[in-house]
Amino acid sequence: MISDLTIRLETSADYREVEYITREAFWNHHVPGCDEHYLAHVLRKSSCFIHELDFVAVQQGRIVGNIMYTHARIVGDDGVEYPVISFGPVSVLPEWQGNGVGSALILRSLSEARKLGYTAVLIYGDPAYYSRLGFVAAETYGIGSSDDYFADALQALELKKGSLNGKQGRFFEDHAYEVDEKASAAFDRSFPPKKKQEGLLSQLKFLEHVSARKPRK
Ligand SMILES: CC(C)(COP(=O)(O)OP(=O)(O)OC[C@H]1O[C@@H](n2cnc3c(N)ncnc32)[C@H](O)[C@@H]1OP(=O)(O)O)[C@@H](O)C(=O)NCCC(=O)NCCS
């Protein structure tokens, strides 16, 4: 565990460095290459982006991690739309992973989100990691994916107790998460070349997670 880690809001001077660490963290992790650094680049300009929850983790003057949040919604089975928030990408430089930076970023931003009055967070992620931070399967609240599946990877956390009760329905992330592959590839070329690899264990695990789904009804 790092003792002198600082967590502060991202500034425009940090943008490129954050995109770099996002690329380093995600490269070949879920799929060969990655789009998350491009996502970080475009999300900030999107109306769904929550600037007050855009945090960086700084260690010895260097940014080693980042978390970004967006507005999202549950479309309830009762036809009502319920606002929630979501996060991602969350990234820690590979050489700093496993030292509590990711947990510190997530816990600090969740606490700020609670103070700002947000009531619930829904994310797609590895249940083995997020359950350690208090997340439960969204299925617990009857909440499924936008295409109506209960997905193991869809995790929920109430920031206000009881806020997800009676809100069964489908979770929708903002359209800003739909990546334009060509634009992403062009953006990636502005960084030093990096080799894409297939068949890595983390990629197989990711595939396993995203395919763990069952129809909601
Ligand atoms: C996921 C990530 C943000 C976590 O940050 P971190 O600083 O490494 O995490 P922490 O140090 O707080 O926690 C590390 C612990 O979580 C575990 N962990 C990390 N990722 C995990 C995962 N996907 N599944 C299960 N456990 C995981 C580690 O094994 C470690 O366990 P230990 O404490 O028993 O040794 C970081 O590893 C990362 O950037 N990964 C690549 C990008 C990514 O996957 N982002 C999240 C997408 S949903």
Residue pLDDT, tens place only, 75-98: 999 999 999 999 999 999 999 999
In the chain, % of residues over pLDDT 90 = 96
Question: What would the two tokens of residue 158 be?
Answer: 């109430």
pLDDT at residue 217 is higher than 90:
no
pLDDT of residue 74: 98
Residue with CA closest to ligand 1 atom 5: 102
pLDDT at residue 2 is higher than 90:
no
Look over the chain and give the mean of its residue pLDDT values, rounded to a whole number: 96
- For the stretch 10-26, pLDDT in tens is 999 999 999 999 999 99
Sorted by where each starts, the structural domains of the chain and their CATH numbers stand as 6-173 (3.40.630.30)
pLDDT at residue 1 is higher than 70:
no
- The strand pairing partners of 92, in sequence order, are 65
pLDDT of residue 169: 98
List pocket residues of ligand 1, CB cut-off 6 Å: 25-26, 29, 90-92, 97-103, 125-126, 128-129
pLDDT at residue 3 is higher than 90:
no
Question: What would the two tokens of residue 210 be?
Answer: 């995203």
Whether 105 and 55 have beta carbons less than 8 Å apart is answered as yes
- For the stretch 87-131, pLDDT in tens is 999 999 999 999 999 999 999 999 999 999 999 999 999 999 999
Task: Name the burial class of residue 91, with classes exposed (0-12), middle (13-18) and buried (19+) by CB atoms within 10 angstroms of its CB.
Answer: buried
Mean pLDDT to the nearest integer, 136-149: 97
Q: How far is the CA of 217 from the centre of ligand 1 (A)?
A: 32
Q: How far is the CA of 129 from the centre of ligand 1 (A)?
A: 6
- For the stretch 181-212, pLDDT in tens is 999 999 999 999 999 999 999 999 999 988 99
Q: In this predicted structure, which of 1-15, 40-54, 89-103 has the lowest mean pLDDT?
A: 1-15
Q: How far is the CA of 76 from the centre of ligand 1 (A)?
A: 31
Torsion from C-alpha of 113, 117, 123, 125, nearest 10 degrees: 30
